[in-house]
Amino acid sequence: SKKKKKKTIKEKDGKKPVAYVRPLSLFSQLSARYGVRKRLVRNVQEQGYDTPTEIQLAGLPLLLGEALAQDGGENVTGPVDLLAVAPTGSGKTLAFLIPVIHGLLKKKAERNGPRALVLAPTKELANQIVNECRKLALGTGIKVTLIKKGMRVGADGISLDLHEGSDEDSNEEEEEDKDESMPTTVKSDIIVATPMALVHALERKAQIATLPSVEYLVLDEADVLLDPLFQDQTLSIWNSCTHPNMRTSLWSATMASSIETLALSTIKERADDSITPTAI
């Protein structure tokens, strides 16, 4: 193969930059290469997985902070946002959960609110992601919460809307505020939700609360989350995540070009110079 000299990974001639990674051949390499906590690696292995799938062997190095420029020698500095397309059943869930859990373990929380948000189009899928995530986070102290109807999500944590579903039609928020004896707000590190459930949980008097604490945003089945049915909700949630260094990754089995364009332009809108957009 022909080698080209000193290519950087910056956008060139309006073309999307391409990053190369040193593929991960075994999950056991995660600790030595990226400093992933042994417990997390063990939690992966205890599910019977030793060898990463294709999307995992490429995606994990990228998201764990190692990408090589085209000459193969130069590390890309800084974290990446990622749009990953890989077939159904190829293990995308693990590919996005490992870097999120690792990222949270590596750094202390800045705030009380959720530090990672995973959006999925259906309740069933959201539930599966929570189960998978809890297995991976076992013994790490990381809390994972499925957002359900009746929960309120805010910058300081998650609370239960005690009046949700009840017949009383009173002034909910004021009453909740008055009750100081009951600890109603709980901390959760990772929240998983459908757009519908989360918009509901974020609604405050016809507005959506911001989520400044979210450092990692994952859109699973991003093609569905960005199709016309969910698009408005997904984008308003995305925009409510105001952390300046938030990392976003989108995962899908298919990606229509219109949706890819929307995804990339939304990522770009938020991007500062430290972000290297990457396609694999």
Q: What is the arrangement of strands in the sheet containing 216-220, beginning at the earlier edge strand?
A: 144-146, 190-193, 116-119, 216-220, 247-252, 80-85, 276-279
What residues pair up with 95 in beta bridges, in sequence order?
A: none
| Closest to 57 in 3D by CA, of 18, 92, 107 | 92
**Cα separation of 159 and 154, whole Å?**
8
Q: Indicate whether 90 belongs to the interface with ligand ADP (CB under 6 A).
A: yes
For ligand ADP, the closer of residues 21 and 275 by Cβ is: 21
Using rule CB under 6 A, residue 91 touches ligand ADP: yes
Question: For the chain, what is the radius of gyration of the CA atoms?
Answer: 20
Contact partner, 52, from ligand ADP, Mg ion, none, Cβ < 5-8 Å per class = ligand ADP
Pick what 184 binds: Mg ion, ligand ADP, none; C-beta below 5 to 8 Å, kind-dependent. none
Q: Locate the DSSP E strands across the chain.
A: 80-85, 116-119, 144-146, 151-154, 157-160, 185-186, 190-193, 203-204, 207-208, 216-220, 247-252, 276-279
C-beta of 90: minimal distance to ligand ADP in Å? 4
Pick the binder of ligand ADP from 43, 93, 266, 278 (CB under 6 A). Answer: 93
* Using rule CB under 6 A, residue 94 touches ligand ADP: yes
Give residue number: closest CB to Mg ion.
92
Rounded to the nearest whole angstrom, what is the least distance from the CB of residue 49 to ligand ADP in the complex?
A: 4
Q: How far apart are CA 114 and CA 120, in angstroms?
A: 16
**Counting contacts by CB under 6 A, is residue 61 touching ligand ADP?**
no
Name the one range near Mg ion by CB under 5 A: 31-39, 88-96, 181-189, 240-248.
88-96
Closer by beta carbon to ligand ADP, 92 or else 200:
92
DSSP3 helix / strand / coil % (the chain, rounded to 5): 35, 20, 45
Q: Is residue 133 a contact residue for ligand ADP (CB under 6 A)?
A: no
Neighbours of 184 (CB within 10 A): 16
| Piece in contact with ligand ADP (CB under 6 A), picked from 35-43, 47-55, 232-240, 272-280 | 47-55
DSSP, collapsed to helix, strand or coil, labels residue 156 as coil
Q: Which residues contact 141 (CB under 8 A, 6 or more apart)?
A: none
The pair of three-digit structure tokens given for residue 63, joined into one six-digit string: 């998201």
- The answer to the question of residue 181 lying near ligand ADP (CB under 6 A) is no
249 binds, among Mg ion, ligand ADP, none (CB under 5 to 8 A by kind): none
Can residue 278 be called a binding residue for ligand ADP (CB under 6 A)? no
State the residue for tokens 């290297």. 276
Q: Does 131 bind ligand ADP (CB under 6 A)?
A: no
- The site partner of 94 among ligand ADP, Mg ion, none (C-beta below 5 to 8 Å per kind) is ligand ADP
Considering only 5-13, 34-42, 87-95, 199-207, which stretch makes contact with ligand ADP by CB under 6 A? 87-95
Burial of 53 (0-12, 13-18, 19+ CB in 10 A): middle
Give the one entry of Mg ion, ligand ADP, none that residue 70 binds, where binding means its C-beta sits below a cut-off of 5 to 8 angstroms depending on kind: none
Chain contacts with ligand ADP (rule: CB under 6 A): 49, 51-53, 56, 86, 88-94
